Copies of this chain bind each other. A is one copy, B any other.
Amino acid sequence: MLETTHPDRAHQQVARAPIQFYFDFSSPYSYIASEWINAVAARHGRRVQWHAMLLGVTFQAAELKSPVSYPMKREYTLRDFERSAHFAGLPYKQPEPFPIATQNAARVFWWLDAQDPARAVAWAQAALRAYFTRGVALNDPVQLKALAAQSGLDADAAEAAWNNSVWKDRLKAENDAAIAAGVFGAPYFIVDGEPFWGNDRQAQIERWLSTGPFKRL
């Protein structure tokens, strides 16, 4: 497919691989990134492949812990979650309890993804917003089922999916694949093989999409 393209964007014609986007439903910086990644990709003619995963599993593989598990870092980080959301123009309300187990929400994601990736993305956005702006406890099966219903899903089928070994195994396989790809935190992005960790790498990702690898000085 040939298109008339501004010369500066010519590299995009040979490299339009989707952006790989790894997130966890209990990660505030993933919530923030989930609100801009599709728009940024679209501006550069890219699609995004979303990957729900369990941050706790990647932390364990990388011998890391959550920033909020260190007392001095915790106080700063809780402040930075809200400030970074507001900086991005997003609402934010620190949920309690935090962090939470998110395997059920992630299994619903993969169950939907197998049917229609766009529905899985819509579920991810709805669940991240529910947890980080309204405190909906995604780890509580009752609240998660109600959220599924509000999101237009068959709530009984969603519950059956998160209890089904097929989607349990799928999530395990996705966690393993993320670790194999080098993912040790969330959000994590891979753009044409280049890894970017953290919501705060948005500007670097945008420049990379515009110009490719930064000029070496």
- Please list the residues of chain A having a beta carbon within 8 angstroms of any beta carbon in chain B: 61-64, 70-73, 75-76, 79-80, 83-84, 86-87, 89-92, 182, 184-185, 195, 197-198, 200-201, 203-204, 207, 214-217
**A90 neighbours in B (Cβ, 8 Å):** 217
CB of A76 within 8 A of CB of B195, answer yes
CB of B89 within 8 A of CB of A217, answer yes
Bound Cα distance A209, B60 (Å): 38
CB of B200 within 8 A of CB of A198, answer yes
Given the contacts A75-B182, A195-B76, A197-B76, A204 and B70 also touching, CB distance less than 8 Å = no
Measured CB to CB, the nearest residue on chain B to A64 is B70
Bound Cα distance A204, B76 (Å): 14
A–B complex contacts, Cβ < 8 Å, 7 sampled: A62-B70, A64-B70, A70-B184, A73-B185, A80-B197, A198-B200, A200-B201
Q: How far is the CB of A97 from chain B (nearest CB, A)?
A: 22
Bound Cα distance A197, B72 (Å): 12
Bound Cα distance A63, B80 (Å): 19
**A75 neighbours in B (Cβ, 8 Å):** 182
Partner of A217, one of B73, B79, B86, B195: B86
Given A79-B195, A83-B214, 8 further pairs, Cβ under 8 A: A64-B70, A64-B72, A73-B185, A76-B182, A84-B204, A86-B214, A86-B215, A198-B200
CB of B216 within 8 A of CB of A86, answer yes
Q: How far is the CB of A175 from chain B (nearest CB, A)?
A: 14
Partner of A72, one of B62, B72, B80: B62
Q: How far is the CB of A204 from chain B (nearest CB, A)?
A: 5
